[in-house]
Amino acid sequence: MRRPGVMIREVLHSALRKAATVRYPAVRSPMPEGFRGRVQFDAEKCIGCKMCMRDCPTGAIVITKLEDGRLEAHIDMAKCIYCGQCVDSCPKAALEVTGGFELAQLQRDKLRQTYGGEPKSDTEKKP
């Protein structure tokens, strides 16, 4: 300890300075422009080309056609790497990335999102 005065001066200087951190989650800061969070699907814009399925590097998106002709998207956020390739490849802008990033879950099933049609229950399936 050759120069103890240097350390004391730094401690006092730091004690009087404003904190550099944010008090998350009490104080939320906005996400920067271009942030890629949760992927959202708009069934009304989708034409069923399935380019998003083909371009997804992890296979996190599955587009299915329902019996009444509507399209339904199943997005598995546990597989998604949030690269935004599906959004870039969609010719009708049916997919978009949102600012949602708080996706932590204890059950993997809660990370599977279904957009477009109502999720089918086991009782509705025909043998």
pLDDT digits (tens, 9 = 90+) for 86-123: 999 999 999 999 988 888 899 999 999 898 865 444 44
pLDDT for 19: 80
Report yes or no on 89 lying in a domain. Answer: yes
- Say whether pLDDT at 2 is over 80: no
φ, ψ of residue 71 in degrees (nearest 5): -105, 145
Report yes or no on 99 lying in a domain. Answer: yes
Report the alpha-carbon distance of residue 87 to residue 83 in Å, rounded: 9
C-alpha separations of 105 from 56, 85, 111 in Å: 22, 24, 7
Q: What CATH number is attached to the domain comprising 66? A: 3.30.70.3270
Judge residue 30's burial from the number of C-beta atoms within 10 Å of its C-beta, 0-12 exposed, 13-18 middle, 19 or more buried: exposed
Domain count within the chain = 1
Report yes or no on 121 lying in a domain. Answer: no
Mind listing the pLDDT tens digit for each residue in 27-46?
888 888 889 999 999 989 99
Domain range holding 106?
31-115
- Say whether pLDDT at 11 is over 80: yes
Return the CA Rg of the chain: 23
Report yes or no on 9 lying in a domain. Answer: no
Of 109, 94, 95, 118, the closest CA to residue 39 belongs to 95
Mind listing the pLDDT tens digit for each residue in 46-79?
999 999 999 999 999 999 998 888 899 999 999 9
